[in-house]
Amino acid sequence: MAPPKNYNSIPAFHAKLQSARRILAVCGAGLSAASGLPTFRGPGGLWRNHQATDLATPEAFEDDPGLVWLFYAYRRHMALNVKPNPGHHALAALAEKVPGFLCLSQNVDGLHPRAGHPPEQLRLLHGSLFDIKCNACGWIQKDNYDDPFCPALAAAAEDVNPGETLPLLDPSKELADIPRQEIPPCPQCDRGLQRPGVVWFGEPLDEDMLNEVDSWIDEGEVDIVLVIGTSSQVYPAAGYAEQARGRETSVVTINLDAEDEVRRLRSNDFAFAGDAAVLLPKLLEPIIGTPVTDGTYA
């Protein structure tokens, strides 16, 4: 099928945006790529010969909690050492200007909150690298920024000179086993280990949060759904664009690969191919204005 006329026209999108009252965003790892964080399924999705997605399972943690913790301790270290990019700032500014904007993010890197996104307009579908929970009981600790998380994970917090490879990342270097006993135990029960507060494959997302998202979608017609930097392969996140689609809704894909989508677009839809950190400030400019310094908004 031919793509809709104007599917990649910024002025045509601006016309739709000017009258939009309810906007939903569904974000993925591509949003944080410009900050320097690797995506899951693209280049960099491999960590020491392991697919990043193979380490994101409760079975992998049961099998080798030390290895899974090293992966997450390294991700915490990287996330703490990068900054939110103009894409995160543009979404935070949109939230300030449009009360009917809700941002759903699959990203666990803490960059939306650090960009000042109002918490009531943000739902972190897959949790946060900076929450710690028990793998056996309901214990949870918010906002833990310890780096390294514990002494046994010190290798994940090493800094190297530019051009050098961190020994931890070099598959030709032997990785010391981290015994289970060196992972901090749960302070509340005598059975569990502390683990990252993220949602792994096969685990349920927070039920209250899912109910809130469903209620928000049901409250009225959603004018625009922004699908930003996600491969839309993981559910339930991948289902929200269609769930929120009404008669006049525009689903707007913002992705390096957006041109691959154009044959699937419906008549009101848009697709913008490129870096979300560059596109979002331009696409949202009629509402949020132009950035002041460092991609931030006044």
Residues that bind ligand BJW (CB under 6 A): 28-30, 33-34, 39-42, 53, 56, 106, 108, 126, 198-205, 229-231, 233-236, 255-257, 275-276
- Residue 126 is a catalytic residue: yes
Residue count (the chain): 298
Spell 42-68 as b/e; 16+ CB within 10 A means b. Answer: eeeeebbeeebeebbeeebbeeebbbb
- With respect to ligand BJW, which residue has the nearer C-beta, 199 or 222? 199
Torsion (CA) 219, 29, 197, 100 in degrees, nearest 10: -20
Answer for which of 41, 116, 139, 209 binds Zn ion (CB under 5 A) is 139
- With respect to ligand BJW, which residue has the nearer C-beta, 214 or 257? 257
Is 137 annotated to bind ligand? Answer: yes
Q: At closest approach, how far in Å is the CB of 197 from Zn ion?
A: 13
46 forms part of the interface with Zn ion (CB under 5 A): no
189 binds, among ligand BJW, Zn ion, none (CB under 5 to 8 A by kind): Zn ion
Q: At closest approach, how far in Å is the CB of 133 from Zn ion?
A: 8
- With respect to ligand BJW, which residue has the nearer C-beta, 106 or 121? 106
Q: Terminal CA-to-CA distance of the chain, rounded, Å?
A: 43
Q: At closest approach, how far in Å is the CB of 40 from ligand BJW?
A: 3
Is 186 annotated to bind ligand? Answer: yes
Query: What is the residue whose two structure tokens read 């009531």?
Result: 120
Q: How many CB atoms lie within 10 A of CB 20?
A: 16
The widest CA-to-CA distance across the chain, in whole angstroms, is 62
Please return the burial class of 35, using the count of CB atoms within 10 Å of its CB with bins 0-12, 13-18 and 19+.
buried
List the catalytic residues. 126
Annotated binding site: 134, 137, 186, 189
